[in-house]
Structure 1
Amino acid sequence: RGQNNVQGLADMGVQPHQGAGYLDVTNDEVNKKYNEFYGVDVPKEIGYKIPEMFDAAIAGKLKAIWIIGEDIVQTDPNTQKVIKAMESTDLVILQELFMTETAKYADVILPGASFLEKNGTFTNGERRVQAVRQVVKPAEGSKPDGQIIVEIMNKMGYPQPDYTPDGMLEEISQIVPFFAGIRWDRLGKNGLQWPVAEDGTDTQILHKTEFKRGKGYFEFNAWEETMELQSHAKEFPYILTTNRELEHYNCGTMTRRTANEEILSDDYLMINPEDAKENEIVEGDYVCLESPRGKVDVKTRITDEVKKGILSTTFHFPDIMINNLTGDIHDSEAMCPEYKVVAVRIRKSKGKFKKQLT
Structure 2
Amino acid sequence: ANVLIQNGWIDKPYIDKYVYGFDDYAKYVSQFNESNIEQLTDVPYSKVVEAAKLIHENKRISCNESSAPLCHHRNGLQNYRAVMALIAITGNFDREGGQLLSPHSYMHVGCGWEAHEHQYLYETRPKNVKDPVGAPRFPLWNYLEGEMQAMDMPRQILEGTPYPLRAVFALGMNARMFPNSGRMFKALENLDFFVDTDLFMTDAAKYADIVLPACSSFERGEFKPYPGGTAWYTSPVIQPLGQAKSDTDIVTELARYMDLPDEQLKEGYESFVQKYILDDLGFTVEQLKKVDLPIPVCKPKPHVDYQELDKGLKTPTGKFELKSAIMENHPEWGLDALPTYKDPLDGADPEKYPFMFTSGSRIPNAIHSRLHGVPANRSLRPVPTADMNNEDCEALGVKDGDRVTISTLRGSVTVNVHPTHTVPEGLVNLYHGYSEADANSLLDENHLDPYSGFPAYRSTRCAVKKEG
TM-score by length of 2: 0.59
* Count of residues paired in the alignment: 317
- Paired residue for 1:320? 437
Within the candidate set 412, 420, 424, 1:303 is matched to 420
Within the candidate set 282, 286, 292, 1:185 is matched to 286
Within the candidate set 108, 125, 136, 2:210 is matched to 108
Shift of 1:89: 2.2
Within the candidate set 156, 160, 171, 1:68 is matched to 171
Q: 1:222 to 1:168 in 2, by over 3 A?
A: closer
Within the candidate set 244, 260, 263, 2:380 is matched to 263
Contact residue 283 and residue 302 of structure 1 kept, 8 A: yes
Q: Deviations over 1:70-114 (max 9, x none)?
A: 42x222322112112212322221001111111122121111111
The 2-side partners of 1:184 and 1:216 are apart by 38
Larger radius of gyration: 2
Q: 1:21 to 1:155 in 2, by over 3 A?
A: closer
Specify which structure has the bigger relative contact order, considering alpha-carbon pairs within 8 angstroms and separated by 6 or more residues: 2
Within the candidate set 271, 275, 294, 2:392 is matched to 275
The 2-side partners of 1:24 and 1:170 are apart by 12
| Residue 208 (structure 1) aligned with residue 304 (structure 2) | yes
Q: 1:143 to 1:223 in 2, by over 3 A?
A: same
Shift of 1:281: 2.2
Q: Which amino acid in 2 is paired with 1:169?
A: V
| Residue 167 (structure 1) aligned with residue 276 (structure 2) | no
Q: 1:156 to 1:258 in 2, by over 3 A?
A: same
The 1-side partners of 2:284 and 2:380 are apart by 41
Q: Unmatched 5+ residue regions in structure 1?
A: 12-19, 193-200
- Paired residue for 2:156? 56
Helix, strand or coil: the match of 2:416?
strand
- Paired residue for 2:451? 333
What's the C-alpha RMSD, in Å, of the aligned pairs? 3.6
Shift of 1:239: 0.2
Percent of aligned positions that are identical: 20
The 2-side partners of 1:347 and 1:186 are apart by 61
Q: 1:347 to 1:230 in 2, by over 3 A?
A: same
Helix, strand or coil: the match of 2:366?
coil
| Residue 145 (structure 1) aligned with residue 247 (structure 2) | yes
Q: Which amino acid in 2 is paired with 1:345?
A: A
Question: Greater strand share, 1 or 2?
Answer: 1
Structure 2 matches for 1:72-91, cutoff 5 A? 73-91=175-193
- Paired residue for 1:347? 465
| Residue 97 (structure 1) aligned with residue 192 (structure 2) | no
The 2-side partners of 1:231 and 1:285 are apart by 26
Shift of 1:287: 0.7
The 2-side partners of 1:268 and 1:202 are apart by 47
- Paired residue for 2:343? 225
Helix, strand or coil: the match of 1:229?
coil
The 2-side partners of 1:129 and 1:79 are apart by 39
Shift of 1:332: 3.1
Shift of 1:257: 1.4
TM-score by length of 1: 0.75
- Paired residue for 1:292? 409
Pick which of 59-68 and 208-217 moved more.
208-217
Q: 1:223 to 1:129 in 2, by over 3 A?
A: farther
The 1-side partners of 2:383 and 2:284 are apart by 44
Q: Deviations over 1:146-197 (max 9, x none)?
A: 22112221232238697654323234359xxx967563235453266xxxxx
The 1-side partners of 2:196 and 2:392 are apart by 42
Shift of 1:128: 6.6
| Residue 154 (structure 1) aligned with residue 247 (structure 2) | no
Contact residue 8 and residue 124 of structure 1 kept, 8 A: no
Shift of 1:296: 1.1
Helix, strand or coil: the match of 2:437?
coil
